[in-house]
Amino acid sequence: MQPGNKFFDDLSKLATNAMGVAQGARAEAETALKSMMDRWLADRDFVTREEFDAVRAMAQKAREENTALKARIEALEGKSKAD
């Protein structure tokens, strides 16, 4: 066995371990940043996309009901004037 190979093997293992540690640190940093952003957004009373979509659907349904009721009222008023 050549003495240089052990050095390069150790260096390779060190580099591999360093990459693993760096990836772990990156994952922790991403998790911490996401958590911080979630708290910041919650403190500002921003709504989630799901909440926004639900309210938009409710507003659309209310508009449709209002249009239908308006047409019904106009039809009933037209009948009462015709009588």
pLDDT in tens, 46-72: 888 999 999 999 999 999 999 999 999
* Helix (H) or strand (E) run with residue 80 in it: helix 49-82
pTM of the model: 0.47
For the stretch 21-41, pLDDT in tens is 888 898 999 999 999 998 888
Tell me: the pLDDT tens digits for 1-15? 455 688 888 888 888
The ranges assigned to domains in the chain are 1-46, 47-83
CA–CA distance, 74 with 83 (Å, rounded to integer): 14
Q: What is the DSSP letter of 1?
A: -
Residue 4 CB neighbour total at 10 angstroms: 8
